[in-house]
Amino acid sequence: MNFLTHVSKHTTEESDSLGKKWLDIPEYEERHNLHGELNGISYELITLPVQLSHLVLLSDRQWIDQERELVAQLAERYDITPPNIHDNDFSADFGKFRLRWERHTEYSTYTVYYAGRFEVPFEKPAIMHVPSEWLASLPGKILVGTHIALDDRSHPKLSLNELASLFSSGTVIGSKVAGGSASAWSDNQIHSDGFRRILIHDENLRSRQVGRLVQRLLEIETYRMLAMLPLPKMRQMIPQLARADQRLATLTANSIEMTGIDKEQGLLDELTKLAAEIEDLSARTSHRFNASRTYYNIVKLRITELREERIEGLQMLQEFMIQRLSSAMGTCELVYAKLEILSLRVSRASALLRTRVEISMEAQIRDLLRSMDNRVHMQLHLQETVEGLSVVVLTYYLLGIVGYGLKAGKAAGLNINVELLTGIAIPVVIIGVFFAVRNLRRLISRLYHGK
């Protein structure tokens, strides 16, 4: 049996065993979903020349069902199989155009492709072929709008003057991308139709490189705007943080000269209120800032993947993007760091003042205990005095009882001297009462300490 025969036989046996599980070990329930995420194709196979329009709409997750329904309505309108009820992405050829819809965590993307030659880039963008009433019904707000025109290598490359006229802003940035296999130009401006423009000229792109290049450019456009989202809010926070910083400095200065637990507690309440305001700012910005930082890292990665080479006389996309985006991200980083430092300072000032309040309260408790101790000593002295008086009183009453007993005996015929015996009983009764009271006090003390 030769090698090819062996391989053929092995392949046949393998085909016969399809659907048979070799292991009885249970699978992780998300295994196939995770595998699909890793192997999903994130780019379209594009044939040049082509124009495309890309929309990024910010919308809450609750709109996903409406988005899926709108895509299904458009598909049915063109007799195309609609997406499944659980799909988060959909791509199909609608005849005149191709549409790709993707749903992400906080935004959705709609990319329209129109294949065919064009004389003037962006004169008739791809989005013109999509029904306008359907576009108007899409939920969300536009964050990114980009037109990309890709011409093939047979089309002559435009000169710098022609590029400046095409982009109408007079400023052109560009570079060779994909290791020199194509040239890309833009002006990074939003034009009168609400879209940015990118022109790509094919020089030696392979078929799959086109889709990857387009996907990287679209992701750069999307993620750089998402990275910029917290910038307006961060700028608004700068005066708020300055005022909070001044309040903290004033409260800290007042705490040095302030005496009295009531005033210290009032100051602690003010610090607690300031800390709550700062934590509220942090809670409202931390999620957005962390997401922005992640998007910024993705932008830098995608720009690196473009593998740019300089075109003489033009600023490269990487230089333009990173220069401006890094400045915005630096502002966000600075404000967020200021917020974290201010929160730490407020916590430290509150802890110090809380310690002062606790010390003042302990001093008050110490004084109260000392006062209680003095009162206890006074009560002991009074108790000893009362015990002395109680001995006298008890002796008096006991002697009265003894006298009555002696008188009763004399009346019964006994020959006794009542006054003499009563006088003799006085020291005996006093001593007996004294020792009885003392023993009773000791017994109560032992019972108390025994508890």
**194-206 pLDDT per residue, tens:** 999 999 999 989 8
Judgement on whether residues 156 and 54 belong to the same structural domain of the protein: yes
Strands 98-103 and 107-115: antiparallel
- Is 21 inside a domain boundary? no
Task: Read off the DSSP letter of residue 79.
Answer: T
Judgement on whether residues 362 and 420 belong to the same structural domain of the protein: no
Instruction: State how many domains the chain has.
Output: 3
User: What value does the mean pLDDT take over residues 378-385?
Assistant: 69
pTM beyond 0.85: the answer is no
Judgement on whether residues 68 and 168 belong to the same structural domain of the protein: yes
- Is 220 inside a domain boundary? no
- Is 223 inside a domain boundary? no
Judgement on whether residues 138 and 275 belong to the same structural domain of the protein: no
The residue range of the domain holding 199 is 36-207
What is the pLDDT, as a whole number, of residue 449? Answer: 61
- Is 88 inside a domain boundary? yes
Better-scored residue on pLDDT, 324 or 132: 132
Judgement on whether residues 243 and 123 belong to the same structural domain of the protein: no
Judgement on whether residues 349 and 386 belong to the same structural domain of the protein: no
Judgement on whether residues 139 and 275 belong to the same structural domain of the protein: no
Judgement on whether residues 304 and 413 belong to the same structural domain of the protein: no
Distance of CA 364 to the CA centre of its chain: 42
Most confident segment among 220-234, 322-336, 398-412: 220-234
- Is 224 inside a domain boundary? no
Judgement on whether residues 258 and 352 belong to the same structural domain of the protein: yes
How far apart (Å, rounded) are the C-alpha atoms in residues 221 and 189? Answer: 12
User: What value does the mean pLDDT take over residues 10-39?
Assistant: 65
How would residue 103 be classed by pLDDT, with cut points 50, 70 and 90?
Answer: very high
What is the pLDDT, as a whole number, of residue 404? Answer: 80
Judgement on whether residues 289 and 316 belong to the same structural domain of the protein: yes
How far apart (Å, rounded) are the C-alpha atoms in residues 121 and 197? Answer: 9
Judgement on whether residues 354 and 397 belong to the same structural domain of the protein: no
User: What value does the mean pLDDT take over residues 171-196?
Assistant: 91
Better-scored residue on pLDDT, 255 or 113: 113
How would residue 147 be classed by pLDDT, with cut points 50, 70 and 90?
Answer: very high
Q: Which of 207, 240, 268 represents a domain boundary (last residue)?
A: 207
- The answer, yes or no, to whether residue 6 has pLDDT greater than 60, is no
- Is 28 inside a domain boundary? no
Nearest CA to 180 among 162, 205, 146? Answer: 205
40, two tokens:
């999903």
Q: Which of 320, 337, 367 represents a domain boundary (last residue)?
A: 367
Sheet-wide strand order for 98-103: 89-93, 98-103, 107-115, 50-58, 141-151, 196-202, 182-186, 173-177, 309-310
Judgement on whether residues 340 and 385 belong to the same structural domain of the protein: no
- Is 12 inside a domain boundary? no
What is the pLDDT, as a whole number, of residue 65? Answer: 92
Q: Which of 344, 367, 390 represents a domain boundary (last residue)?
A: 367
- The answer, yes or no, to whether residue 13 has pLDDT greater than 60, is no
- Is 13 inside a domain boundary? no
Q: Let me know if 233 is exposed, middle or buried by CB neighbors in 10 A (0-12, 13-18, 19+).
A: middle
Q: Report residue 107: phi and psi, to 5°.
A: -155, 165
How far apart (Å, rounded) are the C-alpha atoms in residues 177 and 200? Answer: 9
